[in-house]
Amino acid sequence: MGLLAFVAIFISDDAPSYKSFSDGSTLSVSADTLQHQAMVEKYAQEYGISEYVSILLAIIEVESGGRLPDVMQSSESLGLPPNTLDTEASIQQGVRYFADLLQSAKRYGVDDDTVIQAYNYGGGFIGYVANRGKQYSFKLAEDFAKERANGIKVTYSNPIAVQQNGGWRYRYGNMFYVQLVRQYFTTPIQFDNELVQLVMNEALKYEGWRYVFGGDNPTTSFDCSGLTQWSYRKADIHLPRTAQQQYDATEHIPLAQAKAGDLVFFHSTYDAGTYVTHVGIYLGNNQMYNAGDPIGYDDLTSPYWQKHLIGAGRIKR
């Protein structure tokens, strides 16, 4: 769809929202896009592609940021002018169109990235890839755009290609479409310990969220001990609420003996009325995941953390 048109890229000023899916991936898109999740799920189920809900939401983020009525920019797949459909009609048609592309891909034996690119290029791209190894690559997307652009009249105001994202995009669709969609996915880091993996699968949902003093759940966001308490609870480990209380409830060990999944504690990071004022999840290799501002990773060898470091704590089970 939009075969001869540029794809509009919407960048939200709002903080991203994080949503985890059954494949272990986490989707980071705007709240405007996530508000359409229920409707996407409804039509994905109707057309038998429920496992692709996360990809469909990422397509919405690329196409409209969730803000236009025609959120999936699917009017053109019906031969209509751009932005003709209302929101529900756009989602219904966009999901149906993607389902049709998947059926074609199954017949031809091509991969899912080919389908994602075909959402932008049209179904002809599926046969193109099928005849060239059946595996999507950026070069195939680029070559397809070049070949299809040959039939377009080129003028000074309508060049055959324009520079974008460090490369060139041709007037036939957007060769970067797979990269634009895939950029909204992150895959949680993997741990050998199943319990640690459960904890981190939960904690990583909130990467990039802002620190909120007193926050202890996804509705409020989190402070440091609120994040650890919430995340470990998903592995059926019930920690007390504050950093000091969590320190008191653990077996104290030097950082050099810490393993992934242990807690790491700090003092005097602010005036809390207690000695222990901050806690994070130890990941190994002097890295921790914690509710800083924003929530995310930190290097424990930095001068700031070294100044305040107490040590690690192993949770008593």
Active site residues: 224, 278, 290
Asked whether the beta carbons of 291 and 211 are under 8 A apart, the reply is: yes
Structural tokens at position 64: 């409209």
Please answer whether residues 313 and 251 qualify as being in contact, where contact means their C-beta atoms are separated by less than 8 angstroms. Answer: yes
State phi, psi for 230 to the nearest 5 degrees. Answer: -65, -45
Whether omega before 294 lies within 30 degrees of 0, making that bond cis, reads yes
Cα–Cα distance for residue pair 62/179, rounded to 1 Å: 10
Instruction: Tell me the CB-side half-sphere exposure of residue 100, using CA atoms within 13 A.
Output: 13
* Rounded to 5°, angle at Cα 218 from 216 and 222: 40
Q: What are phi and psi of 265, to 5 degrees?
A: -120, 155
Euclidean distance between CA atoms 51 and 66, whole angstroms? 20
The encoded tokens of residue 99 equal 């389902």
Q: Per the structure block, which two tokens stand in for 115?
A: 């389908």
Q: Are 241 and 228 in contact (CB under 8 A)?
A: no
Answer yes or no: are the C-beta atoms of 199 and 232 closer than 8 Å: yes
Report the distance separating Cα 312 and Cα 259, nearest Å.
9
